[in-house]
A and B are shown apart, each in its own frame.
Chain A
């Protein structure tokens, strides 16, 4: 099929075709930018937390009676002994927070002591005992776990920082960028000049804030906090979790009446609420893109139908002069392909432009290059699918029309 006549015919009534091309271009702009956000959010939401999520749950205990510190310590010990002793429990730990919880403790770590240093590396802090590594399903890739005598209770009126820590590999890379070998045995400082010695490195344990850029940086600190409020994380053997949850709630409530057990949650729920905004946004954007494609498609159908009925007579004449049905169909298909091509080229430019504006104004990541050809392909397909119906209708126009006056 020769493009020349089609092009010249289009030039006769430019406006309609320019409008369609523009519509395709703007549709593509939205599609590409929406897809870029969807992709970024979906990737975020798919990251592993490091926990054995399907078999882990958490709960909180708040005592409201007047206890002294020794009472509180023994209550925590009793609770943990009770939970760890239950069949089906792999391990349990009392901690201040856990990955995906969206609330926790962070500190700045520095390589040199003193208050003048400006370079510090942020890290999430998990206070745990020697059961932390196992409960968090952390894989120790270097060094070793805390020994029981490295773990100490926090002391009242004394905020001396524990001397040992287990860090994630990502934290090590950020903290010791020049270190080629092991991070074990290296020292860093917190609170200006409290030295901390790395005793172990774990593969992965996310910080509690999924939206934080340093989400892979966290450390385990061997300290048990004396407080009326305790957060327990329990890791069970596969299949035991759902039975253990009510069982533990009941046992703990019975063992001490002056407290409440709350925030009993499975990790799936914690993950869902941590990424709620992302999943909601993905849904909304996908819906927008879907609607848009339908509207643009229908617009093309409407316009093509119009063109067909407007050109009924000309099509009849062409048929009478010997044009085959497939020739008529391919005329409209090719015409649409030309318009779409102009649309997607302009759309490509607009997409990149909008993406640049968005990256500058809102904290978004720049577009991946391949999104543009994918969107082009998608819109070409939509255009061809939309024009197919009217084109087939056009090919069914009888040559006899040519003999009639309109």
Chain B
């Protein structure tokens, strides 16, 4: 029976090619508009550390101004001071802990003609790589001893390794930054967490840094932070005063052995702050926070407001396309009410007619869905083109299989939803009325 309905549907679709095409196109365009925005939002709100969500935590301590919270209502600062980050790292109370900040150096490649260039880097500690599942192509992270010894070692991204050493295994080789020699200990494989959970203070979608050096080395060399930096009271001049100040500029994360240790670590933080209070620091009430990657992504509002606006408009767009389809299907059904009457009079049951018209709508829905994937692809290329000034845009406009399936499912559901009312109208044509008029 289904094959018969299929045949009837194809006949009916072919009988009005322009109209059928318009319906398919409307669904496809609606799906395309909707799914391109959904895809961007899906990628933007991804949590690349979801598998560690119950053991990885971002650390916040409230060392802010007694008269004013860092952010309403009573949110502690987004980063920590040098004093606290180093003290907590030193204490080593978590299973793993890392502190880091963004800085920059001038790289001087070897060779007479090679031009020096400035490059952003991350000053961090050995655990950083394990905690954020950073993959290595050659070598490994520096060992924990280098965190203390201020040894001149670096880890390079595969891109930087390609640029400086032509992609070969450069472990053990030397490179020059600001006229000082550094030994390469590791080269990363391709690594692109989207968003860049470990540092959301700046642009959450930019690429990870291409160079990593020990934190202690950066501080002893008095490197400044090229990331965010906030102070709530004057610091006094000079790097020493800056390190001793209440300015926040360092990102701190801890990894616990299991989720049940969260309470204990929070207690440790509270004890630490209580102790600091006796030294006259931390004028505000106890307000320390541990945020999982998922919580941190939400708090930092990595998904731009405009995506929400576009998404609501795109959903309405799909609604217009569906109203369009409903109207056209309805017109089609009304026009055929003669056939329907006749079939009903000859004994076709309502459910038979229902199956037939739903089949027809389903075919249009599937066609619209398949074309809709194409439209989504076009839409994503359009978005990529409009934002081509952002070099990270290509990471946000990629469709994975989940999105393809969602697109098809949305198209079929939409087409069936659109078909429901016209089909119901078709079924309720009474056997006699239309025949009588003719």
Contact = CB atoms under 8 A, between A and B. Distances in A.
Nearest to A17: B327
A202 to B, nearest CB: 27
Contacts of A303: 327-328, 331
Nearest to A263: B118
Interface string A275-297: 01101110111011001100110
Contacts of A118: 67-68
Nearest to B234: A191
Contacts of B425: 15
Contacts of A91: none
B290 to A, nearest CB: 29
A9 interface: no
7 contacts: A23-B324, A64-B108, A273-B389, A295-B26, A298-B22, A299-B324, A406-B438
A296 B317 CA distance: 10
A273 B387 CA distance: 10
Interface in A254-313: 258, 260, 262, 272-273, 276-277, 279-281, 283-285, 287-288, 291-292, 295-296, 298-299, 302-303, 306-307, 309-310
A29 interface: yes
Nearest to A364: B309
Main secondary structure of the interface of B (DSSP, over half): helix
Interface stretch (B90-98, B236-244, B247-255): B236-244
Contacts of A406: 438
B389 A157 contact: no
Contacts of B106: 62, 64, 260
B19 A276 contact: no
Interface in A316-369: 354, 358, 361-364
A302 B331 contact: yes
B436 interface: no
- List the 9 closest pairs (A to B, CB-CB), nearest first: A280-B386, A64-B106, A306-B331, A19-B327, A299-B324, A157-B237, A23-B323, A157-B238, A362-B305
A164 B153 CA distance: 46
A109 interface: no
A362 B309 contact: yes
B313 A158 contact: no
A64 B320 contact: no
Interface in A26-40: 26-27, 29-30, 33-34, 37
Contacts of A62: 106, 118
Nearest to A278: B306
A287 B314 CA distance: 12
A260 B237 contact: no
A159 interface: yes
Contacts of B308: 361-362
Given A23-B327, A363-B305, A65 B320 contact: no
A273 B388 CA distance: 10
A65 B331 CA distance: 79
B260 to A, nearest CB: 37
Contact of A20 (B116, B236, B327, B334): B327
Given A27-B320, A291-B29, A310 B327 contact: no
Interface in B229-283: 233-238, 241
Contacts of B233: 115, 192
Contacts, number: 150
A37 B306 CA distance: 10
Nearest to A273: B389
A285 B67 contact: no
B56 interface: no
Contacts of B314: 288
Nearest to A28: B320
Nearest to B310: A284
Nearest to A66: B179
A292 B332 CA distance: 22
Interface residues of A, number: 63
Contacts of B327: 16, 19-20, 23, 299, 302-303
Given A276-B387, A298-B22, A406-B438, A19 B309 contact: no
A156 interface: yes
B317 A292 contact: yes
* Max chain B C-beta neighbours (<10 A), residue from A19, A281, A363: A19
A42 interface: no
A280 B286 CA distance: 44
Contacts of B241: 157
Contacts of B306: 277, 281, 362
Nearest to B325: A299
Contacts of A115: 67, 233
A402 interface: no
Contacts of B178: 64
A276 B178 CA distance: 34
A185 B22 CA distance: 71
A75 interface: no
Contacts of B116: 64, 260
Contact of A302 (B321, B328, B334, B386): B328
A157 B308 CA distance: 47
Given A22-B323, A159-B236, A191-B234, A302 B390 contact: no
B38 interface: no
B401 interface: no
A291 B309 contact: no
B313 A285 contact: yes
A257 to B, nearest CB: 10
Given A16-B327, A62-B118, A295-B26, A306 B317 contact: no
A13 interface: yes
Given A30-B313, A306-B335, 19 more contacts: A23-B324, A23-B327, A26-B320, A64-B179, A157-B236, A157-B241, A158-B237, A258-B179, A277-B306, A279-B386, A281-B386, A285-B310, A295-B324, A299-B323, A299-B328, A302-B18, A302-B22, A303-B331, A358-B312
A9 B323 CA distance: 22
Nearest to A282: B386
Interface in B339-378: none
Interface in A347-406: 354, 358, 361-364, 405-406
A27 B33 CA distance: 14
Interface string B169-182: 00000000011000
B306 to A, nearest CB: 6
A149 interface: no
A116 B178 CA distance: 43
A259 to B, nearest CB: 8
Given A26-B319, A291-B33, A362-B308, A19 B330 contact: yes
Contact of A23 (B237, B320, B332, B387): B320
* Max chain A C-beta neighbours (<10 A), residue from B308, B314, B321: B321
